[in-house]
């Protein structure tokens, strides 16, 4: 089976590990080979959290520079920081709501202009799907559902070999019961947003 390489980047606390886990459970349901590696030692300390996910017949669990077919960014600055993983054929999906690091607040660096950033990224890769995922998560019922909004967009882009139904089943069985309805709504909102974006 063809190999699909997906990088997910987020800021600690944005829920990317749960999103990766939901994808993995969906892959398990679908019988699709799935391997993932995470760097999460500092996840709760506001650092960058990265998951590398490899679908298909590969043995590696990590992804080299320029090797990702899809980059899923939970935060625009982190999407930009992970652009080294992309090549000209990569699909980039990103939330546009910024979460400025404290270094910006104390005057060590400037947060990039998000409009400008979109233009720059769009020129470099095959497809850019960019939208305010946080607004949709809030619309679904909780800002914490941002991760599932972005999963919706990822599945809509058809860049990974997993279907919407498989992800929804994983959401129903593997996310907290109290959040299932919010998560399903978040998934649909993200899915729709990706249709209209980029």
Partner 1 sequence: MHKLLVDNPGEKLLLLGNEAIARGAVEAGVAFATTYPGTPSSEISLNLFQMSHQSDLYFEYSTNEKVALEVAAGAANSGLRTMCMMKHVGLNVAADPLMTLAYVGVKGGMVILTADDPAMFSSQNEQDNRYYSKLSGLPMLEPSSVAEAKEMLIYAFELSEKLGEPVLFRTTTRINHSSAFVPLGPITPPVTKGDFTKDPFHYVTVPAVSRQLHVKLLENLSKAADISEASPFNTIKGTGKLGIICNGVSFNYVSDAAKELGIEDKLKILRIGMSNPLPAKMITDFLSGCEKVLVVEEGEPFLEEAVKALAQEAGLTVKIAGKGEDLLSRLYEFNPTIVCKAMANYFGFPYNPPTPVELSDLPEAPMRPPNLCAGCSHRATYYAVKKAAEGMDTIYPTDIGCYTLGFLPPLQMADFLICMGSSVSTSCGFSRATGKKVISFIGDSTFFHSGMTGLVNAIFNNHNFTLVILDNGTTAMTGHQPHPGVDMADLNLEGYGRVSIEEVVKAIGVKKVTVINPYKVAKSIAAIKETLEYKGVSVIISRQMCTLYAKSLKKIKVRAFEITSKCKNHRICIDTLACPAFYLEGEQVKIDADVCVGCAVCAQICPENAIRPVKKTG
Q: Which two tokens mark 113? A: 């202009």
CA–CA separation, 81 and 192 (whole Å): 26
Q: Does 1 bind partner 1 (CB under 8 A)?
A: no
Number of residues in the chain: 198
SS3 190: helix
Shortest separation between residue 192's beta carbon and partner 1, angstroms: 26
Q: For residues 20 and 193, which CB has a smaller minimum distance to partner 1 in the complex?
A: 20
Helix residue spans in 82-130 (DSSP H): 102-105, 114-124
Binding mask 132-171 for partner 1 (x = CB under 8 A): ----------------------------------------
Q: Check the CA dihedral 181-151-73-18 and report its sign.
A: positive
Q: What angle do CA 56, 57, 61 make, to 5 degrees?
A: 80
Q: Which two tokens mark 180? A: 């299932």
Residues 20-59 binding partner 1 (CB under 8 A) are 20-21, 24-25, 28, 33-42, 44-48, 58-59
End-to-end CA distance of the chain: 28
Q: Does 88 bind partner 1 (CB under 8 A)?
A: yes
Q: Which of 6, 7, 8, 83 binds partner 1 (CB under 8 A)?
A: 83
Q: Which two tokens mark 153? A: 């967009």
Shortest separation between residue 128's beta carbon and partner 1, angstroms: 12
Shortest separation between residue 52's beta carbon and partner 1, angstroms: 9
How is the chain split among helix, strand and coil, in percent rounded to 5? 50, 20, 30
Q: For residues 37 and 163, which CB has a smaller minimum distance to partner 1 in the complex?
A: 37
How many residues touch partner 1 under the rule CB under 8 A: the total is 62
Per CB under 8 A, residues contacting partner 1 are 11-12, 20-21, 24-25, 28, 33-42, 44-48, 58-67, 77-78, 80-81, 83-88, 90, 100-113, 116-117, 120, 124-125
């Amino acid at each position: 089976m063809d190999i699909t390489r997906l990088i997910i980047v987020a800021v600690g606390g944005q829920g990317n590990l749960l999103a990766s886990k939901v994808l993995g459970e969906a892959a398990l349901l679908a019988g699709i080979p799935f391997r993932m590696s995470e760097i999460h030692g500092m996840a709760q300390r506001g650092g960058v959290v990265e998951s590398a996910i490899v679908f298909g017949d590969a043995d590696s669990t990590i992804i080299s520079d320029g090797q990702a077919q899809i980059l899923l960014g939970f935060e625009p600055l982190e999407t930009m920081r992970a652009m080294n993983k992309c090549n000209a054929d990569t699909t980039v999906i990103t939330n546009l709501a910024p979460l400025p690091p404290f270094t910006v607040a104390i005057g060590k660096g400037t947060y990039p202009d998000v409009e400008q950033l979109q233009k720059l990224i769009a020129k470099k890769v095959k497809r850019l799907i960019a939208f305010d995922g946080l607004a949709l998560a809030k619309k679904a019922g909780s800002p914490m559902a941002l991760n599932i909004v972005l999963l919706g967009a990822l599945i809509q882009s058809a860049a990974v070999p997993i279907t919407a139904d498989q992800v929804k089943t994983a959401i129903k069985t593997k996310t907290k019961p109290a959040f299932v309805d919010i998560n399903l709504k978040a998934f649909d909102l993200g899915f729709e947003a990706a249709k209209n974006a980029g």
